[in-house]
Homo-oligomer: A and B are copies of this chain.
Amino acid sequence: MAIKDKKLKMMTLDQLKDRDIGEVGTPERDQYEFELKMEVLGNMIKSVRKERHLTQEQLGQLIGVQKSQISKLERNTKNVTIETILKVFNALKANVKFSVQLDQSDLNIA
């Protein structure tokens, strides 16, 4: 039987990442994972802003910055301070939760 002989190769997404980007813990992989998170963060600002039916200019006015700054936070996001994140999501009336998971227990900030 074909299916028996074929020795199907299956891979999880993590296995693919390990192979193509690098193992967890290597600088390349850490870099990748970080950039991914920053991208998600940027997209999140954008989607919440849209949810609130605000333009970048309007959101900028709420926190006292130019629309170009908002654009950068949504797209160019390399690294951000917590303060900036909180300022933005505060203005968007969204609640930011930040938690640290340590084996069993969950410690919560904010």
Contact = CB atoms under 8 A, between A and B. Distances in A.
Given A107-B44, A107-B47, A109-B37, A94 B100 contact: yes
A90 B31 CA distance: 12
Interface string A83-98: 1011001101011111
23 contacts: A30-B90, A34-B86, A37-B98, A37-B109, A38-B82, A40-B110, A41-B82, A44-B100, A44-B109, A48-B100, A48-B102, A79-B82, A80-B81, A82-B85, A92-B102, A94-B100, A94-B101, A94-B102, A96-B100, A97-B98, A97-B99, A97-B100, A98-B99
Number of copies: 2
A107 B34 CA distance: 18
